[in-house]
Structures are given as structure tokens and as C-alpha cells.
Amino acid sequence: MDLIEPLVRHFLGIFFLMIGLQFSSRSLGLYRRMGFSHINYGARGAAPWWHRQTFNVFRALILGVCLIRIFADIDGVLGVFDSLYQWPVLLLGLVFLLVSYTAVNYLQAFMHEEWRSGIDPRNDERTLITCGPFGKSRNPLFIAVMTGQLGFFLALPSVFSLVCLIVGVWVVTRQAREEEKDLLQKFGEAYEHYRARVPRWF
């Protein structure tokens, strides 16, 4: 535990910082190259807008907490579960986070030009992806995100991370339903056939 605990503690701070930098720089690069934002909030006050705002607040909180923990002991404030705060659990959380990170990057690359964060309101020519991972699940990217949320809870088992997990899964599942409504409107019968053939999750 003397080795694993500080390793995971430092890993979390660096991991979430790098994710923030990667996502921001990738989005800026795509905007510079393509001339439009791949991040879509939706209409102010609509469900997708609230989902994005909630996600952003918790993402900022997680990053802040993980960075502060590198330099200060705030675990008492976070409500750490001592029974779960054991090195095998922490390592399992680290593994889940790495699996999530790898899967998210793979799936975004697989989607290539079709990748968006949120619902794109533009009426451009889009392709409905139904092959590869999307032939097994309609929302493999969201599954990868929720795997990371579970990994964070295991790497920092606490009241704070449990709230993050519950809210995160709630937001992701609600957003999945909103995006499927949009896909049905965009692709009509083709999406109906796809939805009948492929499960939402597994």
C-alpha cells in the first residue's frame, strides 16, 4: 500500500489533467481544420444543455480534487471508504481508467469524421455507423465513458466519487436517449432497422 497508494494518487491528478488537455486541444484542432465546433451543447435550457453543464461541473470538480490530493490530504473531506481503500481495489480502478481511455480514443478514431460530442444541429451529409463496435452496441462510446466513471470510484472509493459515479451514469444514459432521438430523426428507417438489430448497451 505504501507504494500503490501514492502511485494511484499521483496518477489520478496527471490522468485527468492530460484528458482535459487532450480533449481541449483535439477540439480546437478540429475547429481550426474543419471550421465548425465538434462540441455541441444544444439549445440553452434543453436536456442536452443541462447534461453538458452537469458533466462539465463534475469534470472540473474531479480534476480539482485529484490535483489537490497530490499536495494535500483531503480524504477526510471526501468521505473515503476505508474498507474499499485497499491496494487491489485502487489498482483495479487504475486499470478501468486505462481501459476507458484506450476505448474512448479507439472509438473516436473509428468514428473519424462522424465523431461529435453532443448533438450536431447542422444538416450536413452524415453516415450512420453500424459496423465494428457499433454492430455490437449502439452506444459503445458511452459504455467506455461509464467504465472510466466506475474506474474513478474504485481508484478513489469515497462519498465524493460515488456521487460522481451516480450522477455521471445518470447523465450519460439520459444523453444516450436524447442522441438516439436525434439519430432517428436524421436517418429515419435506416436507424429503425439498426435499433431493432443492435442493443442500446450490450
Q: Mean pLDDT in runs of 10 for the chain (202 residues)?
A: 90 96 93 89 92 95 97 96 96 98 96 88 84 96 98 98 98 95 93 95 92
What is the model's pTM? Answer: 0.93
Residue 126, pLDDT score: 81
Contact 107, 144 (CB under 8 A): yes
Residue 103, pLDDT score: 97
Residue 173, pLDDT score: 96
DSSP state of 117: B
Residue 47, pLDDT score: 92
Q: Rounding to the nearest 10 degrees, give the CA dihedral for residues 51, 98, 78, 162.
A: 50
State the amino acid at position 84 in one-letter form.
Answer: L
Residue 48, pLDDT score: 92
Residue 121, pLDDT score: 84
